[in-house]
Chain A
Amino acid sequence: MRILLFGGFLGSGKTTTILQIAKYLTTIRQEKVVIIENEIGAAGVDDKLFANSGLQVKSLFGGCVCCQITSDLISTIDEINETMNPDWVIIEMTGLAYPSKTAMSLKKYSKVYSAFKTITIVDRGRWSELIAMLKPLVLGQITGSDLIILNKVDLVGEAIEKIERELHEIDEHMKVVIISAAKDLSLAVLEEVVCCE
């Protein structure tokens, strides 16, 4: 069982991107996928979008898995492994979570996965504003990720080259792919995202 952990600020496009990744894994590669949907609020919205697409979803509501309900996430992954035995678990974190923090906890306490990848989605359209107003959170979400997806490149926003340069100032080896999740992702991007050791 391999795990893809998706982070990124509120509204950056996590759900839209995951929908395409999950569809690719289930329909093209014929692999079994379970999605864990984490929302801070007591009720979820995104889980309905996954279920509407025929995907299996486990919901973790009422807290953030990176700092409030980490143990719930680990026990949910164990339970999924035992009862459903999927090829992939895709975790959608809340838009305020720090993916690397959760990755650290999972690597320490979960023994049921064979490969793991942390992916953070960056919103091109709001990059300048978010950096200006919420820099510690945005940088904290990016730091330690295995892959950055620069999303919404079809919308008006900061120059893509400038964002890439700023991302590489955080980590010069950071791998960045550029997408518009509102459109079909290329096979190269899909393969890059699921390339998981």
Chain B
Amino acid sequence: MNSEATIFSRHYCVFFEKSLTTVQMEILLREFMMSIGRTMSRYGTILGHIKLLAKLSELAVEHYLFLSLTTLDNVNVIPSKCWPNASGVH
């Protein structure tokens, strides 16, 4: 294993003042991923892997969105089976 590797792992709870649809939430999460990626990329390439698992609440463990980024402008998004459809408001 490369001993120079650094792993950052953080867990945040975010509360929104207004209700958001899952589509709006996904847009915010994509922007968040890109903002991290921009600071860590070299000519648009991230020499690592940025992953984000967003859950609707601590209780809804099966309701999540997984986001992954290795190349800028190319956020990969995978919803869980239980992730509410586009019209869901939370």
Contact = CB atoms under 8 A, between A and B. Distances in A.
Contact of B7 (A40, A49, A134): A40
Contacts of A137: 2
A95 B49 contact: yes
B4 to A, nearest CB: 9
A67 B80 contact: no
A16 B69 CA distance: 13
Contact of B1 (A43, A45, A98, A123): A98
Contact of A48 (B9, B49, B64, B69): B64
B1 A67 contact: yes
Contact of B62 (A10, A52, A66, A155): A52
Interface residues of A, number: 30
A41 B7 contact: yes
Contacts of B38: none
B27 interface: no
Nearest to A68: B1
> Would you call the interface of chain B mostly helix, strand, loop, or mixed?
strand
8 closest A-B pairs by CB: A11-B49, A11-B70, A10-B49, A129-B45, A64-B1, A96-B1, A41-B9, A67-B1
A28 interface: no
Interface string A35-48: 00000111101101
A126 B49 contact: no
| Interface residue SS majority, chain A | loop
B36 interface: no
Interface of A: 10-11, 40-43, 45-46, 48-49, 52, 64, 66-68, 94-98, 123, 125-126, 129-130, 133-134, 137, 155, 182
Contacts of B51: 45-46
Nearest to A95: B49
Nearest to B80: A52
Given A52-B62, A126-B70, 16 more contacts: A10-B48, A11-B49, A40-B5, A41-B9, A45-B53, A48-B66, A48-B80, A49-B66, A52-B81, A68-B1, A94-B1, A125-B70, A126-B47, A129-B43, A129-B45, A130-B47
